[in-house]
């Protein structure tokens, strides 16, 4: 085992930054009141909670009353999609893409069982969705369009503003799962013309198990849960105050830092991509330019991504194969299949996601270790090519 550790799995989750931890601590200790309580302990907590809502809203160009705190991206997606379907109260039509995260994809599959019709739009071989396909798919029954802002596996960034314009033109609800984008690229819900946007704290150096749903003012959906009056009854239950405070602090800082960090991260990403492509029989998955600043996804022919991961782990390098949320499954990822990769190439894919704390020396360390890892695995591979 190596004593060096290089974490390149920020797409799966990120370490909580110190400022967020500091901001959260008082809410585990002296400020423990329930924000719904009328006593001064409760009122102090309410004030901090609403302040966190204001910061979260400001980070994405929303108004505070448009922010609903949830337990993360998965719940935000469910509240938007299922809530809109529930409100419709009859079978309708949903448009989504074939490369959504399971937190949208599987919700759509489930809504199909309830009688809704779903169009899963294809993407090109770089994972890009053509907005005209969205327009062409619209029918009189379409009540919601859900297209992710950027893909978690291959990093392709979608033309959300163009799709937003189409949705608005047809007066159809538009949801975007922006879990991978918020904190990495500038986000403005008004410019995107979205009715719903999902974000998650643990993808931008905030805590896990906390997220938010932006719901445009005036848009009506039905709640999935019933209970107290929290979050205007859309997401009842005593609020995760420390989590929300930590999320808002991390979000505020990560958005502030975008101008300085984006180009630096892209340079590291491209250095890693260039180095990896020097190895024989390696292809880049996803779009070369329209791609998340920290995302690198490559396929190594003749070997399994899982074996590469384990070998990299021996060198202290943390990466992932396919989507972290779906790892454990041996099926090739639906995203890699949707961009046209054959079974074997899809299985040989590895995702490195760079983030806060990574530097050139980390990239060089990976590039130093990976050629021998690949060579050794190819030597014993039953899938062909031996040197
Ligand atoms: C695009 C996307 N959507 C949704 C989720 C789920 O978010 P959470 O883990 O906060 O439920 C993830 C997490 O990997 C994601 O990448």
Does residue 265 sit in the same domain as residue 279?
Answer: yes
pLDDT per residue rounded down to tens, the chain (387 residues): 788 999 999 999 999 999 999 999 999 999 999 999 999 999 999 999 999 999 999 999 999 999 999 999 999 999 999 999 999 999 999 999 999 999 999 999 999 999 999 999 999 999 999 999 999 999 999 999 999 999 999 999 999 999 999 999 999 999 999 999 999 999 999 999 999 999 999 999 999 999 999 999 999 999 999 999 999 999 999 999 999 999 999 999 999 999 999 999 999 999 999 999 999 999 999 999 999 999 999 999 999 999 999 999 999 999 998 643 444 556 789 999 999 999 989 999 999 999 999 999 999 999 999 999 999 999 998 776 654
Which of 23, 181, 251, 325 is catalytic? The answer is 325
pLDDT at 324: 39
pLDDT for 325? 40
- 15, 119, 230 from 10: Cα distances, Å: 8, 31, 31
Nearest-atom number in ligand 1 for the CA of 148 is: 1
**Of all protein residues, whose CA lies closest to atom 8 belonging to ligand 1?**
73
C-alpha of residue 217 to centroid of ligand 1, in Å: 24
CA distance 365 to 375: 17
Which of 253, 274, 308 lies at the terminal end of a domain, its last residue? Answer: 253
Atom of ligand 1 nearest to the CA of 202: 10
Say whether both 229 and 300 belong to one domain: no
Pocket of ligand 1 (CB under 6 A): 72-74, 101, 103, 148, 152, 177, 179-180, 200, 211, 324-325
CATH code of the domain containing 71: 3.40.640.10
Helix or strand holding residue 253 (H, E): helix 241-277
Which of 253, 268, 298 is at the close of a domain?
Answer: 253
Residue 366 lies in a domain: yes
Q: Is the distance from CB of 35 to CB of 52 less than 8 angstroms?
A: no
**Quick check: helix, strand or coil at residue 280?**
coil
Element (H, E) at 103: helix 102-113
Does residue 268 share a domain with residue 349? yes
Structural domain containing residue 273: 6-14+259-379
How many beta carbons lie within 10 A of that of residue 141, not counting itself? 13
Ligand 1 mean position to 208 CA, how many Å? 11
Asked whether residue 170 is domain-assigned, the answer is yes
The token pair that represents 198 in the structure block: 């999902």
The C-alpha atoms of residue 192 and residue 187 are separated, in whole angstroms, by 8
d(CA 223, CA 204): 27
Write down which residue in 233, 253, 273 finishes a domain: 253
- Tell me whether residue 108 is one of the annotated catalytic residues: no
Is 285 inside any structural domain? yes
Q: Is the pTM of this model over 0.95?
A: yes
Number of domains in the chain: 2
**Are residues 263 and 247 part of one domain?**
no
Query: Does one domain contain both 41 and 116?
Result: yes
Same domain, 181 and 145: yes
Is there a contact between 262 and 353 (Cβ–Cβ < 8 Å)? Answer: no
């Amino acid at each position: 085992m190596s004593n060096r550790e290089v974490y390149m799995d920020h797409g799966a989750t990120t370490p909580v930054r110190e400022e967020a931890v500091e901001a959260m601590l008082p809410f585990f200790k002296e400020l423990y009141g329930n924000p719904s309580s009328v006593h001064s302990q409760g009122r102090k907590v309410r004030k901090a909670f609403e302040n966190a809502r204001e910061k979260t809203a400001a980070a994405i160009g929303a108004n505070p009353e448009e922010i609903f705190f949830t337990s993360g991206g998965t719940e935000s997606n469910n509240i938007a999609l299922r809530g809109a379907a529930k409100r419709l109260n009859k079978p309708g039509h949903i448009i989504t893409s074939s490369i959504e995260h399971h937190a949208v994809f599987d919700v759509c599959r489930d809504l199909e069982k309830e009688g809704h019709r779903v169009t899963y739009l294809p993407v090109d071989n770089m994972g890009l969705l053509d907005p005209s396909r969205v327009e062409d798919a619209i029918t009189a029954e379409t009540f919601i369009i859900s297209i992710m802002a950027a893909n978690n596996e291959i990093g392709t960034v979608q033309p959300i503003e163009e799709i937003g314009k189409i949705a608005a033109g047809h007066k159809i609800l538009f949801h975007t799962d922006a879990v991978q984008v918020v904190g990495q690229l500038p986000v403005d819900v008004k410019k995107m013309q979205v009715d719903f946007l999902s974000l998650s704290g643990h993808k931008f150096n905030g805590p896990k198990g906390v997220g938010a749903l932006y719901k445009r003012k005036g848009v009506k959906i039905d709640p999935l849960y019933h209970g107290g009056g929290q979050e205007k009854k859309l997401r009842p239950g005593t609020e995760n105050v420390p989590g929300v405070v930590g999320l808002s602090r991390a979000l505020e800082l990560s958005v502030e830092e975008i101008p300085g960090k984006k180009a630096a991260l892209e340079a590291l990403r491209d250095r890693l991509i260039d180095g990896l492509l020097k190895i024989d029989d390696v292809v880049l998955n996803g779009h070369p330019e329209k791609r998340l600043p920290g995302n690198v996804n490559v396929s190594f022919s003749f070997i399994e991504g899982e074996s590469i991961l384990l070998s990299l782990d021996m060198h202290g390098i943390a990466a992932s194969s396919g989507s972290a949320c779906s790892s454990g499954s041996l099926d090739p990822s639906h995203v890699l299949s949707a961009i046209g990769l054959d079974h074997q190439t899809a299985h040989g894919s590895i995702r490195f996601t760079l983030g806060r704390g990574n530097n050139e020396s980390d990239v060089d360390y990976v590039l130093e270790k990976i050629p021998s890892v690949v060579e050794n695995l190819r030597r014993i591979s039953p899938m062909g090519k031996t040197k």
